[in-house]
Amino acid sequence: MVSNPDCAKFISDLINGTATAKNPAEFTDALKGFDMINGQGGFIYGDTIRKAYGFDGSTVHRTISSGKAQVELATPYAINTGNARVAAQIAETQAGIQASDALHEILHLAGRNQFSDYDYANTVAGMRGVPVPKFDNVRRASEYWNSALAAACKPRR
Ligand SMILES: [Zn+2]
């Protein structure tokens, strides 16, 4: 995914475009961010977002500079089927969702004080040369910049 050069370029442009003097970048390469987080709080499953908002989602805790940065991915659903082929398809779909969620969340930790969904949505609007849309809530801002990330980083098959 992130070894795709378009994806790596999009990510470094996104991070560099969002970084400020007050909130500089900790990394501009998602694989480097992955390694840093792995050496700190790591990647865990949880349901913080489900409990707070009533829908499944992933989130981050703390910051790289705290030395305890952590990515929390939505706890996957149990695969309740006796059909091995269907179970394998569900597992593959879940793995794909987890990989793209993990990438999204890693990027939040690229800012020394994190970069928010609004921060990244503003940067993406700038990259597209369009006015920043009005977002009703953080989920809409998240979806806005994530759609640009997904387009740049979609797995090649
Ligand atoms: Zn987000």
pLDDT in tens, the chain (157 residues): 667 889 999 999 999 999 999 999 999 999 999 999 999 999 999 999 999 999 999 999 999 999 999 999 999 888 888 899 999 999 999 998 899 999 999 999 999 999 999 999 999 999 999 999 999 999 999 999 999 999 999 866 5
Distance 80 CA to ligand 1 centre (A): 29
Distance 28 CA to ligand 1 centre (A): 17
Q: What is the pTM (predicted TM-score) of this model? A: 0.93
* Inter-residue contact 106 to 71 (CB < 8 Å): yes
Query: Domain residues of the chain, as ranges?
Result: 5-152
Distance 142 CA to ligand 1 centre (A): 5
Nearest Cα to 62, choosing from 25, 120, 111, 123?
111
* Inter-residue contact 43 to 37 (CB < 8 Å): yes
Distance 115 CA to ligand 1 centre (A): 9
SS3 track for 107-156 = HHCCECCCCCHHHHHHHHHHHHCCCCCCCCCHHHHHHHHHHHHHHHHCCC
Distance 101 CA to ligand 1 centre (A): 9
